[in-house]
């Protein structure tokens, strides 16, 4: 039976983008369990209201690609809490498919959410963290993918956006560190995880079976990750236990990036 510590981020104020389902939902739950005051945003207001009612976290309707909404969210948190200690840039969508079939409008939307949305979170969350009482401090956690470390041949857009998140996180981390600001920034790289993001491919029982087989083949451990397993790594990065970690990549993929395919 899984045993969890209690109070690892007691008293911290956190915001999770894309928090209404999947990995974001698991992070909201874990952060609340471990004592944080949690705000989360999402475009899915129905799921957001449900999760807020279940956890006591505060839901804010939020489109990560719109800068004015980031400004509004950070202003709300500063007004009500006076600080921000943890920011998880989790909101993201899947890619645009094979190169020859890429639609430019879909490509631009992918980058607006997966890359620009992360940048805007780091920009405005980072500025609020610099105004924290007692001086600049905080932990920014950017959700990337193991597809940022080993490319997916069938979806260059997704790999491109997640690779951008990796290098963006490193740049931001070093920027803060060299300025003497105690704000850390790391990227988290999940492998295939059992979330609703794969539902469009589960159009039939046979399609679901093929999808599961393909996803399992990508992971030496032979199974999908569980959202709580990814959330536990985010919890570590949110806590003071990771106080000397910045500009790093934290991989939670069941060994998927540790072996050549088929070997």
End-to-end CA distance of the chain: 32
Question: Which residues fall within 8 angstroms of residue 168, CB to CB, at 6 or more apart?
Answer: 115, 118, 119, 122, 142
Q: Choose the catalytic residue: 39, 40, 70, 158.
A: 158
Q: Which two tokens stand for residue 14?
A: 């956190």
Q: Which two tokens stand for residue 219?
A: 């992971």
Q: Which two tokens stand for residue 148?
A: 């940022």
Asked whether 224 and 253 are in contact (CB, 8 A), the reply is no
- Reported for 61-64, long-range contacts at CB under 8 A and 24+ positions apart, including other chains, are 62/17, 64/17, 64/18, 64/89, 64/91, 64/113, 64/116, 64/117, 64/118, 64/120, 64/121
Answer yes or no: 158 catalytic: yes
Catalytic residues: 158
């Amino acid at each position: 039976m899984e045993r969890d510590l209690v109070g690892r981020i007691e008293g911290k104020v956190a915001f999770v983008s894309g928090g209404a389902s999947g990995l974001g939902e698991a992070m909201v739950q874990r952060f609340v369990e471990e004592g944080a005051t949690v705000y989360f945003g999402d475009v899915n207001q129905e799921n957001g209201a449900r999760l807020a009612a279940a956890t006591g976290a505060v839901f804010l309707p939020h489109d990560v690609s719109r800068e004015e909404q980031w400004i509004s969210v950070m202003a709300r948190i500063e007004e009500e809490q006076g600080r921000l200690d943890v920011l998880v840039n989790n909101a993201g969508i899947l890619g645009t498919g094979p190169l020859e079939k890429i639609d430019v409008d879909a490509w631009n939307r992918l980058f607006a959410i997966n890359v620009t949305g992360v940048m805007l979170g780091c920009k405005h969350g980072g500025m609020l963290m610099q105004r924290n009482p007692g001086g600049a401090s905080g932990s920014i956690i950017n959700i990337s993918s193991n597809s940022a470390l080993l490319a997916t041949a069938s979806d260059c857009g997704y790999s491109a956006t997640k690779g951008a998140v990796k290098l963006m996180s490193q740049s931001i981390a070093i920027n803060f560190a060299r300025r003497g600001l105690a704000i850390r920034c790391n990227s988290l790289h999940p492998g295939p995880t059992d979330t609703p993001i794969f539902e469009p491919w589960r159009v039939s029982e046979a399609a679901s079976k093929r999808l599961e087989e393909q996803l399992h083949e990508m992971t030496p451990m032979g199974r999908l990750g569980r959202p709580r397993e990814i959330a536990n790594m985010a919890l570590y990065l949110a806590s003071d236990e990771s106080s000397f970690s910045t500009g790093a990549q934290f991989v939670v993929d069941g060994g998927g990036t540790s072996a050549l395919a088929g070997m």
